[in-house]
Chain A
Amino acid sequence: MLINRRKDTLIAAVLVAPFLAIYLLVFIWPTVQMFGISFTDAPLIGDGNFVGLDNYARLDSDPRFRTAAWNTAYFVLLTVLPGTIVALLIALGVSRLKGRAQSAVLALFFLPYILPVSVVYLIWDWVLNFQFGISMHILDWLGIDRVPITKTRAWFMPAMAVVTIWWTAGFSILLFLAGLRAIPAEIYEAASLDNASRWTVFRKITWPLLYPITSLVFTIQLISQLKIFDQVYLFSQGGRPNDNMVLVYYVFQRAFQQDQGGRAAAVAVTLFVLVVAVSVLQFQLLRLSGGRR
């Protein structure tokens, strides 16, 4: 018995080792180091002197950091709730279709999500092109003056929000569809016997039963939009990145373009703490709402 357990432990160690090694190397070690260098004036590669909380204290008066924080918050505001609502509405529509028709329509909504961000960027850069983009024909048709959308500060973040919702909605739609499928058909049959209106059915049955999924979709989006970088970077190429600055972009610029690893790490830590806080909060909320039932 004892030999067996020892053998078990040995085998488990062998099975777990590859994952654990990678985990320590690319998760734990960099995280520890990130916190470490955020208290120094280190360049990107190499050591620096300990400067205490200086890097953090300087953030408050750093206009570019402020822009980054505001733009990230603005982007979150423009994408998370609108994205969740759009995906829910589309999922309700798609769920009415059956069989092959449903897979075909779902595929049309889902395809963008499967594509790399570079492809999304090239397609939308073309669609939004100031001279020849098809969206400009729509502006003409609506009688609005043409604007170079990705080069205009006021239009940039809203445009990024539209592109991002278009790109990622498929994922949320998929989750909502899974949630809708899990609602037993008998409940709807009972409701239709009671002659309940479409709105009542949604409000009294679909919405409450779908709530756990809604909150999951909402948080997944919140966390991923806080980490926005790719779209903003790509669409800012040849433009004015400092106006479109977001948190990850700030980290990238400080570390990789200005060789200030310590100052960059301070913002990386800020982002890290923010994302962990949101995740913990979500976990607590789910647990609380789970405990209520």
Chain B
Amino acid sequence: MVSVQALRRVNFWGGMITALTVVLAIIWAFPLYWGVISSLKPEDEVVRPYIALWPETLTFQHYIHAITATQIGNWYVNSVAVAVGVTLITITSSMLCGYALSQLSFPGRKLLWWLILASFMVPTQALIINHFVLVAQLDLLNTWAGIMLPQLIHPVIIIVYKQFFDQVPRDFREAAVMDNAGEFRILSKVYLPMNWGVTTALSIVTFIWTWNAFLWPFLSVTRTEMMTITVGITQVNDAFGVYYARELAAAVLAGLPVALAYLLFQRKVTEAITLSAGIKG
């Protein structure tokens, strides 16, 4: 039998571990809080030699400055355009390919599947030289299309789609075939509606991944007005001297869309990310 003392002891240590986890979580998120709160202080308050967890004067002046006096508006438009474009193209092409792999038999199916699995290993960072050559030859440097092109592939999305399409009971397909429905009709009327959940989840994370991309957007754009926001806020200093709070306000603006996407769709985001690592959540 479990003695009462033993149970108490277990509860005490269990409680300690839980408390420790919560404290660590707060410490973990503290740099984020510190970044946000510093961006809401006047510049002279930011550089005071002591720690003030709350601003004496709360100000949005740095945000107003970022929006009205820098190119951040441009960068936002570029980031949104690129992220939406990549998401649409990647999700559509992956869904179609995943459907073919799951539901149709055709010569070369095995080879295609093998190619997709093999592509997991390819480090895209190693391909930057030849991506640059390719995009330069197509005359797409400093354009949205050029920023998008090498980012249009996430093989894992095809694999996730195939898994989900595989799970749709065969009866649905047979019924649709009996009705003389074509493949595109079956996909759009049966398979897609049954998998809206995973489609939204994958779209959200593809958007986040593209929004966050740094290396390729950084290499393929040299004109400041064509930069995405992740590149722009680190590469352009449009004023002399250092303005810490201003930089942090720009950082908050750059992180806001993805942070909001995560906080609003927490379940979906974590589901898609777990799936993309090859685990069923």
Partner of B152, one of A12, A22, A33, A175: A22
CB distance from B61 to the nearest CB of A (A): 18
Residues of B within 8 A of A137 (CB): 50-51
Cβ contact within 8 Å between B231 and A118 = yes
Return the CB mask of A245-266 against B: 1 if under 8 Å, else 0.
0001001100110000100110
Q: How far is the CA of A44 from the CA of B269 in the complex (A)?
A: 38
CB pair B244 A129 closer than 8 Å: yes
Q: A45-B136, A275-B123 are in contact. Are A117 and B153 (CB under 8 A)?
A: no
B1-58 interface with A by 8 A CB criterion: 2, 6, 10, 13-14, 17-18, 20-22, 24-26, 28-29, 31-32, 34-35, 38, 46-47, 49-51
The residues of A that contact B34 with a CB separation of less than 8 Å are 123, 126-127, 134
Residue among B25, B101, B149, B233 facing the most chain A CB atoms (10 A cut-off): B25
B30: shortest Cβ distance to chain A, in Å? Answer: 9
Q: A114 to chain B: which residues have CB within 8 Å?
A: 208, 212, 258-259, 261-262, 269
- Whether B32 and A123, one on each chain, are in contact in the complex, defined by CB atoms closer than 8 angstroms, is yes
Contact assessment for B133 and A93 in the assembled complex, using a CB-CB cutoff below 8 Å: no
Q: Which of chain A's residues have a CB closer than 8 A to the CB of B21?
A: 90, 93-94, 96-97, 105
Can you name the residue of chain A whose Cβ is closest to the Cβ of B212?
A: A116
* CB atoms of B214 and A11 under 8 A apart: no
Residues of B within 8 A of A251 (CB): 125-126, 128-129
The answer to whether the Cβ of A284 comes within 8 Å of any Cβ in the partner chain is no
B22 → chain A closest CB, angstroms: 6
Contacts of A271 in B (CB 8 A): 123, 125-126
Interface segment among B62-70, B112-120, B192-200: the answer is: B112-120
Q: How far is the CA of A108 from the CA of B31 in the complex (A)?
A: 11
- Quick check: which of A50-58, A60-68, A147-155, A227-235 contacts chain B, the rest being far away? A227-235
Interface residues on A, range: 35 or more
Report chain A residues within 8 Å CB of B47.
Answer: 131-132
B115: chain A residues at CB < 8 Å are 23
Provided the pairs A34-B126, A111-B29 are in contact, do residues A44 and B152 lie with their beta carbons within 8 angstroms? Answer: no
- Expressed in whole angstroms, the Cα–Cα distance for A117 and B228 within the complex equals 13
Q: Is the CB of A198 within 8 A of B13?
A: yes
Q: Is A289 an interface residue (CB 8 A)?
A: no
Chain B residue with minimal CB distance to A101? Answer: B22
Q: A75 on the interface (CB 8 Å rule)?
A: no
CA distance A223 to B51 in the complex (A): 39
Q: Which listed residue (B93, B100, B133, B219) contacts A22, Cβ 8 A? A: B93
Cβ-based interface call for A188 (8 A): no
CB distance A19 to B121 under 8 Å?
no
Nearest residue, chain A, Cβ from B234: A118
Say yes or no for A16: interface residue by CB 8 A criterion: yes
Complex Cα distance A97/B17, Å?
A: 10
Asked if B266 is at the interface of the complex by the 8 Å CB criterion, the answer is yes
Q: A45 — which chain B residues lie within 8 A by C-beta? A: 132-133, 136
B248 within 8 A of A: yes
Interface flag for B73 (CB, 8 Å): no
Interface string of B98-111 (1 = CB under 8 A from A): 01110011110100
* Cβ contacts under 8 Å, A110 to chain B: 262, 270
Q: Is the CB of A118 within 8 A of B132?
A: no
Partner of A109, one of B14, B28, B158, B212: B28
Whether the pair A12, B259 counts as a contact (CB closer than 8 A) is no
The verdict on A144 contacting chain B, using a C-beta distance below 8 Å, is no
> Among B50, B92, B158, B212, which residue has its beta carbon within 8 angstroms of that of A117?
B212
A216 interface residue (CB < 8 Å to B): yes
Tell me, in angstroms, the Cα distance from A280 to B129 when the chains sit together: 24
Asked whether A31 is an interface residue with its Cβ less than 8 Å from the other chain, the reply is: yes
Task: Contact check, A123 vs B123: say whether CB atoms are below 8 A apart.
Answer: no
A208 at the interface (CB under 8 A from B): no
Within the complex, which residue of B120, B230, B248, B270 is in contact with A279, where a contact is CB–CB below 8 Å? B120
Q: When chains A and B are docked, how far (Å) is the Cα of A38 from the Cα of B10?
A: 61
Contact of A116 among B20, B104, B258 (CB under 8 A): B258
Check B281 against A26 for contact (C-beta < 8 Å). Answer: no
Please indicate the chain A residues that have their CB under 8 angstroms from the CB of B2 in the complex. 192, 195
Q: Judge whether A179 and B279 touch: CB under 8 Å.
A: yes
Expressed in whole angstroms, the minimum distance between the Cβ of A207 and any Cβ of chain B is: 17
**Is the CB–CB distance between B100 and A96 below 8 Å?**
no
CB atoms of A116 and B255 under 8 A apart: yes
* Bound-state Cα–Cα, A25 to B150, Å: 9
Q: 10 A–B contact pairs at CB < 8 A? A: A8-B105, A15-B100, A116-B212, A119-B230, A121-B234, A174-B273, A179-B279, A216-B278, A227-B125, A279-B121
Please list the residues of chain A having a beta carbon within 8 angstroms of any beta carbon in chain B. Answer: 5, 8-9, 11-13, 15-16, 18-20, 22-23, 25-27, 29-31, 33-34, 37, 44-45, 90, 92-94, 96-97, 103, 105-112, 114-119, 121-124, 126-127, 129, 131-132, 134, 137, 166, 171, 174-175, 178-179, 192, 195, 198, 213, 216, 220, 223, 226-227, 229-230, 234, 237, 248, 251-252, 255-256, 261, 264-265, 268-269, 271-272, 275-276, 279-280
